Amino acid sequence: MTIKDTVRKYANDLKFVTHIPAKEVEILMMYLLDKNTIWLHMNYNKQFDKEQELAKLVKKRAQDYPIEYLTNKASFYGETFIVKEGVLIPRPETELLIDNALEILKDKKETVHVLEIGTGSGIISVMLALLIKDIKIIAVDINEKALELAKQNAIKHNVDDKIEFRLSNLYENINETNIDLTISNPPYIANDYDLPKNVAYEPSNALFGGNIGDELLKDIIKQTDERNIEYLLCEMGYDQKNPLSQYLEEFNTKSFTFYQDYEKFDRGFTIQFKK
């Protein structure tokens, strides 16, 4: 069977789990063949000899299993990152967190020191290391598997000399006093929230933030203030702006602002504490 006929055959199996079934079949085929889109389309009428392997992947994807875990990669901020089961999959809205950090750090004349809490696959730290020349980052996580994956991504993008990966629950193993900015995409979903089937395959400790959902965010805010760190940037849930605004009234801040994601949902905040 040709590549073209194979795409047509298996796209039908994915029509209920994605709005781009044919494209996803192509992605799985490119993964198996280690080829790109241009090669695939130029060879659309050639025989495809890995149908058995493809059938297994399509069957798994048809059960809403994330395609990023099947191909072990995801795109983020225009770059390709290694992704593995047991570590959170990068989301496009987290790119906005990078943008906000760049606004603060771009004009710094000296080396900036950044702490990332909950690094996951390392996408935030790696991108900041790629985009800012003079930067030193400590990236922490409670998940050893995540830290190992983050190291792989840092090596892949040649920025491992700028990032130290460390096992730590929030600030637990952080003794440095020269941190300029803390950045985090922490778990912020309420424990009783019913996740979509595809998201349920991802690690729960990277998703659920407490009974209400904002408990971990509040811990990070409190501990950042106690550490006398000037800036804190976090992603948050779409319904957490009001409770977090009220909570921030308890702190001595110079400013705090919220931003929306691509779908116009409240998605994160930037805090500047008075030092």
pLDDT in single tens digits along all 275 residues of the chain: 999 999 999 999 999 999 999 999 999 999 999 999 999 999 999 999 999 999 999 999 999 999 999 999 999 999 999 999 999 999 999 999 999 999 999 888 899 999 999 999 999 999 999 999 999 999 999 999 999 999 999 999 999 999 999 999 999 999 999 999 999 999 888 787 787 777 888 888 777 787 878 999 999 999 999 999 999 999 999 999 999 999 999 999 999 999 999 999 999 999 999 97
Cα–Cα distance for residue pair 37/44, rounded to 1 Å: 10
Q: Which residue type occupies 57?
A: L
End-to-end Cα separation, the chain, in angstroms: 67
257: left (phi > 0), else alpha (psi -120 to 50), else beta? beta
Alpha helices in 45-122 (DSSP H): 51-61, 67-71, 95-105
pTM (2 d.p.): 0.93
Cα–Cα distance for residue pair 263/163, rounded to 1 Å: 32
Both tokens assigned to 204? 């729960």
Both tokens assigned to 135? 């930067």
- Which residue's structure tokens are 């048809």? 62
Radius of gyration of the chain measured on its C-alpha atoms: 21
Strands 79-82 and 181-184, bridge-based pairing: unpaired
Give me the DSSP letters along 132-177.
-SSEEEEEEES-HHHHHHHHHHHHHTT-TTTEEEEE-STTTT---S
